Amino acid sequence: MILVTGAAGQLGSDLVAALVGLHGREAVLATDLRTCDQMARSGADMATLDVTDPDAVQTMIQDGAFEQVYHLAGILSARGEKQPDLCWTVNVDGLKNVLNAVRGTKTRVFWPSSIAVFGPDTQRHRTPQVTVTNPTTMYGVAKASGEMMCDYYARKYGVDVRSVRYPGIISYGVPPGGGTTDFAVDMFVQAVKNGQYTCFVRESTRLPMMYGPDAVKAALDLMAAAPSSISVRTSYNLTAFSFSAEELAAAIESRVPGFVCEYEPDFRQAIADTWPEVIDDSRAREDWGWHPDYDITAMVNDMLSHLVDPANSHV
Ligand SMILES: NC(=O)c1ccc[n+]([C@@H]2O[C@H](COP(=O)([O-])OP(=O)(O)OC[C@H]3O[C@@H](n4cnc5c(N)ncnc54)[C@H](O)[C@@H]3O)[C@@H](O)[C@H]2O)c1
């Protein structure tokens, strides 16, 4: 059996569908505070689980005898700046509850960290695996703490926990949940719907990104890797491509003629300004064979093919 927390989210809903496709619907228990249509459509069993409740997490993990837990429940960067206490509680205490519940078992855990662990002191181009982090957002502080906790539980208690530092994830299934890279998804949706988008970061903002199917593939590949191949128990750097907001707008405009993007940076600009532009993910490539399937052109084409409404005159 496989447990997924935060299963109704942007990543969780796609991951649950992939896990059901691989292992069958009876093998996957999808949990969250809420449900969503896509989670229901996957056919997986569903349950409510608040990861900040240690007893509920302990009981569910003990009773379920899960071989794998994908612990995705989280509060993302932009929401985390508005609700820092909640961000810490869900992202750090929630992770600790899961790690405590699997201690002494053979359960393998996947927990996503983020490029948000990096901050203004970090080398922004080809950011190395091991480097200064010093994040300046609560989300980054929580993710950096979570990474160290994973490493501690792996060393001290032998917990088989695995993690990647996801870049911004672009997907079309469930809308993103309040992150700084949400502009990339919003740009596609608004281009198809209205032919116009007002972007909340400036045009030159360049960030590492990844298409949703590759984010799912990374989680599955890392969890399938032999324990002996995992040399990083904090979290692996991971990326697919980097682009600036204006480069994405141009790529969309080439497929959606007449699309106009304007730029009105808000508080999320200050967050984006502290993150790397390009990530070095060579350790993930060497250790467990990571490689993305989608480059930016393939991602743009696939996103648009899923979002386009044939009745929409902009496309
Ligand atoms: N989407 C990205 O670009 C991105 C990038 C880097 C890392 N990540 C990480 O991947 C994970 C999943 O992200 P996502 O994009 O799917 O986020 P999301 O906001 O779309 O989904 C997170 C889910 O967690 C749930 N949740 C919140 N509090 C909870 C609680 N107390 N108990 C149980 N569930 C709770 C929410 O209801 C939501 O469905 C998070 O840990 C996030 O930090 C995402």
pLDDT at 35: 79
Q: Are residues 215 and 205 located together in one domain of the fold?
A: no
Q: Which residue among 32, 57, 69, 76 is best mutated to probe the pocket of ligand 1, counting the most ligand atoms within 8 A of its Cβ?
A: 76
Q: Are residues 29 and 120 located together in one domain of the fold?
A: yes
Q: Are residues 252 and 222 located together in one domain of the fold?
A: no
- Dump strand ranges (E) for 128-174: 160-162, 164-166, 168-170
State the closest ligand 1 atom to the C-alpha of 50, by its place in the atom list counted from 1: 32
Instruction: Specify if 98 maps to a domain.
Output: yes
Instruction: Specify if 264 maps to a domain.
Output: yes
Supply the residue whose CA is at minimum distance from atom 39 of ligand 1.
9
**Other Cβ atoms within 10 Å of 100 Cβ, number:** 16
CA distance 147 to 164: 9
CA distance 160 to 174: 29
CATH (domain of 159) = 3.40.50.720
Q: Which residue among 13, 31, 93, 166 is best mutated to probe the pocket of ligand 1, counting the most ligand atoms within 8 A of its Cβ?
A: 166
The last residue of one of the domains, among 219, 237, 255, is 237
CATH (domain of 267) = 3.90.25
If one counts the domains in the chain, the total is 2
Supply the residue whose CA is at minimum distance from atom 22 of ligand 1.
9
Radius of gyration of the chain (CA): 19
Q: Which residues are catalytically annotated?
A: 139
The CA 237 to ligand 1 mean position distance, Å, reads: 18
Q: Are residues 268 and 218 located together in one domain of the fold?
A: no
Instruction: Specify if 218 maps to a domain.
Output: yes
pLDDT at 173: 92
Instruction: Specify if 313 maps to a domain.
Output: no
Instruction: Specify if 315 maps to a domain.
Output: no
Q: Are residues 33 and 77 located together in one domain of the fold?
A: yes
Q: Are residues 72 and 192 located together in one domain of the fold?
A: no
Instruction: Specify if 90 maps to a domain.
Output: yes
State the closest ligand 1 atom to the C-alpha of 175, by its place in the atom list counted from 1: 20
pLDDT at 37: 83
Q: Are residues 261 and 301 located together in one domain of the fold?
A: yes
The CA 221 to ligand 1 mean position distance, Å, reads: 20
The CA 238 to ligand 1 mean position distance, Å, reads: 18
Instruction: Specify if 287 maps to a domain.
Output: no
Q: Are residues 191 and 132 located together in one domain of the fold?
A: no
Tell me how far CA of residue 144 lies from CA of 63, 76, 133, 270, 305, in angstroms.
30, 13, 8, 19, 36
Supply the residue whose CA is at minimum distance from atom 23 of ligand 1.
6
Q: Are residues 59 and 124 located together in one domain of the fold?
A: yes
Closest by CA to 130, choosing from 147, 108, 111, is 147
The CA 27 to ligand 1 mean position distance, Å, reads: 22
Q: Are residues 251 and 227 located together in one domain of the fold?
A: no
CA distance 76 to 176: 9
Instruction: Specify if 256 maps to a domain.
Output: yes
- Dump strand ranges (E) for the chain: 2-5, 28-32, 45-48, 68-71, 108-110, 113-114, 160-162, 164-166, 168-170, 196-199, 206-211, 236-237, 241-244, 260-263
CA distance 146 to 82: 20
Output the ligand 1 site: residues, CB below 6 A: 5-6, 8-12, 32-34, 49-52, 72-74, 76, 90, 94, 112, 114, 166, 168-169, 176-177, 179, 181
- Between CA 134 and CA 262, with CA 165 as vertex, the angle to 5 degrees is 85
Q: Are residues 163 and 264 located together in one domain of the fold?
A: no
For residue 43, the enclosing domain spans 2-168+210-237
The CA 295 to ligand 1 mean position distance, Å, reads: 24
Closest by CA to 185, choosing from 306, 82, 275, is 306
Q: Are residues 57 and 163 located together in one domain of the fold?
A: yes
Per-residue pLDDT in tens (0 to 9) along the chain, 315 residues: 999 999 999 999 999 999 999 999 999 999 999 877 888 888 999 999 999 999 999 999 998 789 999 999 999 999 999 999 999 999 999 999 999 999 999 999 999 999 999 999 999 999 999 999 999 999 999 999 999 999 999 999 999 999 999 999 999 999 998 999 999 999 999 999 999 999 999 999 999 999 999 999 999 999 999 999 999 999 999 999 999 999 999 999 999 999 999 999 999 999 999 999 999 999 999 999 999 999 999 999 999 999 986 443 333
pLDDT at 309: 61
Supply the residue whose CA is at minimum distance from atom 40 of ligand 1.
74
